[in-house]
Amino acid sequence: MLADSKKNSQSIPQGKLAVLTPGMGAVATTLYAGVEAIKKGLALPIGSYTQLGKIKVDLENQETFRLVKDLLPLYNLNQIVFGGWDIFPENAFEAACHAQVINRELLNQVEKSLSEIKPMKAVFDPDFVRRLNGTHIKQGPNKMNLADQLRQDIKDFMKNHNCERAVIVWCASTEKYNEPTEIHSNIKSFEEGLRQNNPSISPSQIYAYAALMEGVPFCNGSPNISVEIPCIQELAAEMKVPICGSDFKTGQTLIKTAIAPALRSRQLGLAGWFSTNILGNRDGEVLEDPESFKSKEVTKSGVLNNILDKDLYPELYSKIDHVVRINYYPPRGDNKEGWDNIDIFGWLGYPMQIKINFLCRDSILAAPLVLDLALLMDLASRSGLSGPQEWLSFYFKMPLNNKNQKTEHDLFVQMQMLEKTVKKLSEKNNK
């Protein structure tokens, strides 16, 4: 367990920070390669709030803009050590070449660093991710044993790399949709389920459990049901460790959370929103399975209803046809293309349309989010924050919130929440 995980220490971080990712595919290796390139002065950290973001602050009775990284005691990029788990044995350089996100010329310049990042054997259950098969997989008599192996991995990695602290950010594939059961209702039942190999306990839940037991913050970057379940939230409170999720807000949902507030603010009606995506990476292949797609559909579909609030504006938003589709198309690789057809209506019910064609790189959008979340979750831990971190809602399709509180999806409100907390943590640090 982290020696200082329960201390309110915002002092300048000492030593190294282990950023561990379950999954060392396109997203994770794009992050690793990007940070190594930035450290060498070969690129800029575009897309990262912690590295390029600025906020307005009052200094000596004067308003000025300061970089977030200059206001907060964050680990710098030279203090980060990357590692992770994967069902394939490729090192990070080989995996990055296979993913074909970053051009080979740039990859060759960071080959040495990436080649040294070798995956630990992963916890994997083909029943939860049916379209992938790997050989680099942990074996054990039950799921509790697998969790114990993960805990030992964390300890060994930190010892071997001389790391003072650690953060885990899930970057692996989307699991099939699974409703919480009685096993997930409390930590005692969950631990018994681990010992009894209960089939409703997913790999991502095992990773979350192992992380929290070691006092390590856990971020869920996929739509998997993990940090939301009562037993994990109970454990996070008991261990005083921060958690956050779910599902990185990268492409189409980013657009929705920006456009929908604009419609509401202008009191423009919405008749329908048709969204479709094509992509050819491993994530797209996994989402071809209907059960895995259902997990993604749940996180994507709740956004509009939350922002537009049909109960408050029934004449504008009570009858929305919202369709979401994702199609696996191998020639695209990591080049995702999203189409949105938005049918709106205005004065006197007059119909209008908005059409958006977003050609993006999924992993290019996700990588800086992983970096931000790793740095901010570590800071949250050092600042004595624990449980769901609502102030990080900005980064997720389905943000994790505290009980009995409405989940906020409005991108601009989420940004206000983020900046408000950043300012508070900055003021606390500067006292």
> Is 235 a residue whose pLDDT tops 70?
yes
* pLDDT at res. 298: 63
> What pLDDT score does 25 carry?
94
pLDDT at 282 over 80: no
pLDDT, residue 7, reads: 42
- Res 327: pLDDT: 87
Which range has the worst mean pLDDT, 208-222, 326-340, 354-368? 326-340
SS3 string of the chain? CCCCCCCCCCCCCCCEEEEEEECCCHHHHHHHHHHHHHHCCCCCCCCCHHHHCEEEEEECCEEEEEEHHHHCCCCCHHHEEEEEEECCCCCHHHHHHHHCCCCHHHHHHCHHHHHCCCCEEECCCCCCCCCCCCCCECCCCCHHHHHHHHHHHHHHHHHHCCEEEEEEEECCCCCCCCCCCHHHCCHHHHHHHHHCCCCCCCHHHHHHHHHHHCCCCEEECCCCCCCCCHHHHHHHHHHCCEEEECCECCCHHHHHHHHHHHHHHCCCEEEEEEEEEEECCHHHHHCCCHHHHHHHHHHHHHHHHHHHCCCCCHHHHCCCEEEEEEEECHHHCCEEEEEEEEEEECHHHCEEEEEEEEEEEHHHHHHHHHHHHHHHHHHHHHCCCCEECHHHHHHECCCCCCCCCCCCCCHHHHHHHHHHHHHHHHHHHHC
Q: What is the mean pLDDT of residues 245-260?
A: 90
How far apart CA 8 and CA 23 sit, in angstroms, is: 31
Is residue 193 very low, low, confident or very high in pLDDT (cuts 50, 70, 90)? very high
- Of the ranges 120-124, 292-296, 424-428, the best mean pLDDT one: 120-124
- pLDDT, the chain, mean: 91
Give the whole-angstrom CA distance, residue 420 versus residue 335. 34
Lowest-confidence segment of 140-154, 310-324, 403-417 by average pLDDT: 403-417
pLDDT score for 4: 44
Q: Per-residue pLDDT for 5 more than 50?
A: no
pLDDT of residue 185: 96
What is the band of 295 on the pLDDT scale with cuts at 50, 70, 90?
A: low
For 272-281, how does the pLDDT look when each residue is reduced to its tens digit (9 = 90+)? 999 998 887 7
Q: What average pLDDT does this structure show over 201-217?
A: 98
Question: Which structural domains are found in the chain, ordered by start?
Answer: 16-248+364-430 (3.40.50.720), 252-360 (3.30.360.10)
Residue 431: what pLDDT?
60
Span 157-188, pLDDT tens digits: 999 999 999 999 999 988 888 889 999 999 99
CB 273 within 8 Å of CB 322: yes
| pLDDT recorded at residue 60 | 73
State mean pLDDT over 78-94: 97
Q: How far apart are CA 321 and CA 216, in angstroms?
A: 41
pLDDT digits (tens, 9 = 90+) for 212-231: 999 999 999 999 999 999 99
Residue 294 has pLDDT above 80, yes or no: no
Interval 311-321 mean pLDDT: 94
Predicted confidence (pLDDT) per residue in 401-415, tens digit: 877 677 889 999 999
Q: Which amino acid is at 243?
A: I
Q: Please give the span between the terminal C-alpha atoms of the chain, in angstroms, as a whole number.
A: 29
Could you tell me what percent of the chain has a pLDDT over 90?
A: 74
Phi, psi for 357 (deg, rounded to 5): -120, 105
What pLDDT digit, counting tens, does each position of 16-45 carry?
999 999 999 999 999 999 999 999 999 999
Closest CA to 170 of 7, 395, 10: 395
Q: How confident is the model at residue 72 (pLDDT cuts 50, 70, 90)?
A: very high
Q: How confident is the model at residue 11 (pLDDT cuts 50, 70, 90)?
A: low
How much is the pLDDT for 381? Answer: 96
